[in-house]
Amino acid sequence: MQPVVEVSGLRFRYDDGTAALQGVDFHLFPGETVALFGANGSGKTTFVLHLNGVLTGEGRVVVCGMPVTKENLTEIRRRVGIVFQEADEQLFMPTVLDDVSFGPLNLGIEPAAAVERAKSALGDVGMLHALDKAPYHLSAGEKRRVALAGVLAMNPEILILDEPTTSLDPPGRRDLARLLGRLPQAKIIVTHDAWLARRLAVRSVFFEGGRIMGDGATDELLKRFDWECDAAEAMPARLD
Amino acid sequence: MHHVVLERWSRGGSFLHARDPRVKILAALAILVAIATTPPQTAAPFAAYAILLIGASAASGLPVSGVLARAAVVLPFSATFAAISWVSGDPERAAALVLKSYLSATAALVLIGTTPMPKLLLGLEKLGAPRMIVLVALFLYRYLFIVSEQAQHMLQAAAARGGLFGKARPLRFRAAGGAVAVLFGHSYQRAVGIHRAMLSRGFEGRLMPASALALTVTDALFLGGALVLAFASRLSAGAGL
């Protein structure tokens, strides 16, 4: 089976000189879900922004058989949907329907068809009732769902979710995990949330200092990098 | 918040709400030009504008007192310049300055209060306003409240650490300067994030409208009526400037 994402030797340095990626090799197969772990600043978000050409570094990035180059960007951005960590940054249009239609309209789809697609995507995430609402009237969980609908409306083959459970309450987290579990696309989930990774991803990848330090079964990786903090462990030792 | 109230108003279903945004923008522009060119010595046209605007607010179901109260937000600015005219011996001009700015703000509020912001911006774009300005207005509208909310949180955080009231002025200025710098930094970072999110969804420099505008005969009649009324009110003062 051909991978839908193939990355080799990817390096990237920000303008301020920070070496964010220092030789990353990665692959993702159709229908697979992979969780990306790592401390803040380890390069996870920088890495995923290379998969649809928002950032471009040195190395080879191939998505759905196409190298990520200027000529392929429109098609690659249709196929790779990124749901950003800050839903407020993604929901910039005045109403929910306007926002979810934004992507399909950019693909050149006729307005009426784009609106139909947007409604269908909103139906998939259970937000059809909020069509005319302004995004800032929504709860954090609702914003997350609408942001996901905005990406699903573009019919992507690969879904990338950056910290999807941040600021969600436990029921919101559970609902989102259920929803994501139902989606057939290949998924890359950037997360600190071990519960979510266990629930959705058989395979995980661990980032450190702009490099992949581990790639394997989620359970094994979580233990190897000591990436869990249970309630008992989180309690401070009594001083008395 | 002001813009939340205005947004609620703009979602009404009156005759004025239903009009094409382009004809409402042109009608508002006609009234603004009429107000601006009315000579200060005459009272009749100002009364006519006031009746016109109050009538339009009431007919659209907007709370008249709410509109009038919100329009007063311009008074501190115009009153400053009016005071200068007054002191320099021209009380008539001073009064006209206050009246004109107040009536102009009321006209703008009636327009915004009867037109949802996306439609208003689409109308402006269709009338030939530069796309960049329309985009800036769109983002300003969307993110202004997020920035002001952030500012509110910072004030609360300052209050939680003892507050700034009663502190020496240099300390207050320093804290306010720091807060503005942090807000600017956050806004800049957010702008970068928004741009990335837009690129990721295929944005290539042009905002595609999801709905087309369609002028009806009623819209044309409304515009004609509004122009006649604005012109007649202006003429009641004679031709002098």
The model's pLDDT over A38-77, given as tens digits with 9 standing for 90+, comes to 999 999 999 999 999 999 999 999 999 999 998 999 899 9
Kindly state whether residue B207 falls inside one of the protein's structural domains.
no
* Secondary structure percentages of chain A, helix, strand, coil, to 5: 40, 25, 35
User: Chain A residues with CB inside 8 Å of B198's CB?
Assistant: 92, 102
Residue B143 with chain A: CB contacts under 8 Å:
92
What digits encode the pLDDT tens for the residues A154-164? 999 999 999 99
Task: Looking at chain A, list the stretches that DSSP marks H as alpha helix, in order from N- to C-terminal side.
Answer: 44-49, 73-79, 87-90, 96-106, 111-124, 140-152, 170-182, 194-200, 218-224, 231-234
B160 band by pLDDT with thresholds 50, 70 and 90: confident
Q: Quick one: average pLDDT of B49-69? A: 94
Predicted local distance difference test score (pLDDT) of residue A159: 95
Of B138, B199, B210, the CB nearest to A114: B210
B190 phi/psi in degrees, rounded to 5: -65, -40
Of A49, A103, A111, the CB nearest to B211: A111
Task: Determine, yes or no, domain membership for B192.
Answer: yes
Q: Are residues B8 and B103 in the same domain?
A: yes
Residue B3's pLDDT is: 58
pLDDT > 90? residue B215:
no
Domain match, B16 and B98 both? yes
Q: For residue B139, what are the domain limits? A: 130-200
Q: Is residue B26 part of a domain?
A: yes
At how many degrees (to 10) do helices B21-37 and B217-235 cross? Answer: 0
pLDDT tens, position by position, B162-188: 666 666 677 777 777 888 888 888 888
* pLDDT at residue number A5: 96
CA A89 to chain centre: 14
Partners of residue A214 on adjacent β-strands: A206
Residues B226 and B182 in one domain: no
Statement to judge: residues B118 and B135 lie in one domain: no
CA distance B2 to B74: 14
Range with the lowest mean pLDDT among B11-15, B44-48, B106-110, B150-154? B150-154
The whole domain housing A26 covers 5-89+156-229
Domain-located, residue A114: no
CA distance to partner chain B, nearest, from residue A112 (Å): 7
- Give how many domains chain B has, as a whole number: 2
**Is ipTM beyond 0.90?**
no
Q: Are B35 and B77 within one domain?
A: yes
Shortest Cα–Cα distance, B210 to chain A (Å): 5
User: According to the model, what pLDDT value does residue B237 have?
Assistant: 67
Tell me the C-alpha distance between B179 and B148, whole Å: 12
Pairing, β A58-63 against β A5-13:
antiparallel
d(CA A18, CA A185): 33
pLDDT digits (tens, 9 = 90+) for B178-214: 888 888 888 888 888 888 888 888 887 777 766 677 8
pLDDT at site A94: 76
Calculate the average pLDDT of chain B: 85
* B159 and B75 assigned to the same domain: no
pLDDT at position B241: 45
The answer on B156 and B110 residing in a single domain is no
CB contact under 8 A, A94 and B141: yes
DSSP state of A92: -
Give the domain CATH number at A79: 3.40.50.300
- Report if residue A15 sits inside a domain: yes
Pairs of CB atoms within 8 A across A/B: 88
Is residue B47 situated within a structural domain? yes
Q: Which stretches of chain A sit within 8 Å of chain B by CB?
A: 49, 52, 54, 74, 77-78, 80-82, 84, 86, 88-90, 92-95, 97-98, 101-103, 105-107, 111, 114-115, 118, 132, 134-136, 150-151, 154
Residues B69 and B54 in one domain: yes
Same structural domain for residues B217 and B117?
A: yes
pLDDT of B145 > 50? The answer is: yes
Structural domains in chain A (count): 1
Q: What is the mean pLDDT of each run of 10 residues along chain A (240 residues)?
A: 93 92 96 94 94 93 94 91 88 86 88 92 91 84 91 93 88 89 94 92 95 95 83 52
Judge whether A103 lies within some domain.
no
pLDDT > 90 in chain B, percent: 38
Query: Do A5 and A28 form a contact (C-beta atoms < 8 A)?
Result: yes
In a domain, B138, yes or no: yes
- The minimum CA-CA distance between B215 and chain A, rounded to whole Å, is 18
Q: Does one domain contain both B227 and B135?
A: no
A111-124 and A96-106 are packed helices; what angle lies between their axes, rounded to 10 degrees? 120
Quick one: B112 and B168 in the same domain? no
